[in-house]
Amino acid sequence: MLNGFLPTFHSNSNLKSLNLYSTKFSGPIPQSIGNLKSLITLNFAFCNFVGTIPSSIGNLSHLVNLDFQFTNLTGQLPSTFGNLSKLEDLSLSYNSFSGKLPSTMGNLVKLKSIYLDHAGFTGELPSTLGNLRQLEFLDVVGNGINGRIPLSVVNLTRLTTLYLHYNGLNGELPLGLTNLTKLESLGISYNALSGAIPSSLFTMPSLSEVLLNENQFTGPLTIHNNVTSSQLTSLSLSSNKLNGPIPNSLFKLKSLVSLSLDSNNFNGTIKLNMFSKLRNLQSLYLSQNSLSVTYMYSNSTLLPKLFSLGLASCNMSGKFPYFLKNQNELMFLDISNNRIEGEIPNWFINMSVENLNHLNFSHNHITHWETPQFILPWTNLKILDSSFNKLQTSLVVPPVSIQYFFMSENRMSGGISDMFCDFVDLVVLDVSNNHLNGTIPSCLTSFSTELSMLSLKGNNFHGKIPQTFLDGNKLMTLDLSHNQFQGKVPKSLIKCKALEVLNLGHNQLSDRFPFWLQNLPELQVLVLRSNNFSGPIWQRKMIVGFANENGFTWRSVMVGYGSGFVVGAIGGYFIISKKPNWVTRIYGRKF
Strand ranges of the sheet holding 339-344, from the earlier edge strand across to the other edge: 317-318, 339-344, 365-369
Cα dihedral 150/151/156/162 (nearest 10)? 50
**Stated pTM of the model:** 0.89
What radius of gyration, in Å, describes the C-alpha atoms of the chain?
A: 30
Range 413-590: architecture per CATH: Alpha-Beta Horseshoe (3.80)
Strand ranges of the sheet holding 413-414, from the earlier edge strand across to the other edge: 413-414, 435-438, 460-464, 484-487, 508-512, 532-536, 566-567
| Amino acid in position 119 | A
Domain ranges, ordered by start, for the chain: 268-401, 413-590
Q: Return d(Cα 219, Cα 197) in angstroms, integer.
A: 8
Q: Return d(Cα 546, Cα 137) in angstroms, integer.
A: 58
Q: 248 by DSSP, 3-state: which?
A: helix
Question: Nearest 5°: CA angle at 231, between 225 and 233?
Answer: 105
- Neighbouring residues of 14: CB distance < 8 A, sequence distance ≥ 6: 38
Instruction: Provide the phi-psi class of 113: left if phi over 0, else alpha when psi is between -120 and 50, else beta.
Output: beta
- Tell me if 360 sits within 8 A of 334, measured CB to CB: yes
Residue of 515, 582, 519, 583 whose CA lies nearest to 552: 519
Q: 491 by DSSP, 3-state: which?
A: helix
- Tell me if 112 sits within 8 A of 89, measured CB to CB: yes
DSSP structure class, residue 420: G
Residue of 91, 101, 100, 99 whose CA lies nearest to 71: 91
Tell me the longest C-alpha to C-alpha distance in the chain: 90
- Tell me if 479 sits within 8 A of 452, measured CB to CB: no
Long-range contacts of 417-420 (CB under 8 A, 24+ apart): 417/441, 418/443, 419/375, 420/444, 420/447
- Neighbouring residues of 203: CB distance < 8 A, sequence distance ≥ 6: 178, 224, 226, 227, 230
Dihedral sign from CA coordinates of 313, 316, 319, 324? negative
Beta bridge partners of 342: 366
Q: What is the pLDDT of residue 564?
A: 42
Dihedral sign from CA coordinates of 266, 272, 276, 280? positive
* pLDDT tens track for 282-309: 999 999 999 999 988 777 677 899 999 9
Q: What is the pLDDT of residue 3?
A: 81
Q: What CATH code is assigned to 268-401? A: 3.80.10.10
* pLDDT tens track for 85-97: 999 999 999 999 9
| Amino acid in position 182 | K
Q: What is the pLDDT of residue 391?
A: 97
- What secondary structure does DSSP assign to 298-309, as a single string? T-S-SS---SEE
| Amino acid in position 474 | K
Q: What share of the chain is helix, strand, coil (3-state, %, to 5)?
A: 15, 25, 60
Extract the residue ranges of the chain whose pLDDT is less than 50.
540-554, 560-591
Q: What is the pLDDT of residue 364?
A: 98
Strand ranges of the sheet holding 216-220, from the earlier edge strand across to the other edge: 122-123, 144-147, 168-171, 192-195, 216-220, 241-244, 265-271, 290-294
Domains 268-401 and 413-590 share a fold: yes
Q: Return d(Cα 6, Cα 304) in angstroms, integer.
A: 58
- Neighbouring residues of 543: CB distance < 8 A, sequence distance ≥ 6: none
CB hemisphere CA count around 241 (13 angstroms): 10
| Amino acid in position 401 | S
- What secondary structure does DSSP assign to 330-398, as a single string? -SEEE--SSEEEEEE-HHHHTTTTTT--EEE--SSEEEEESS--SB---TT--EEE--SS---SBPPBP
Q: Return d(Cα 159, Cα 113) in angstroms, integer.
A: 9
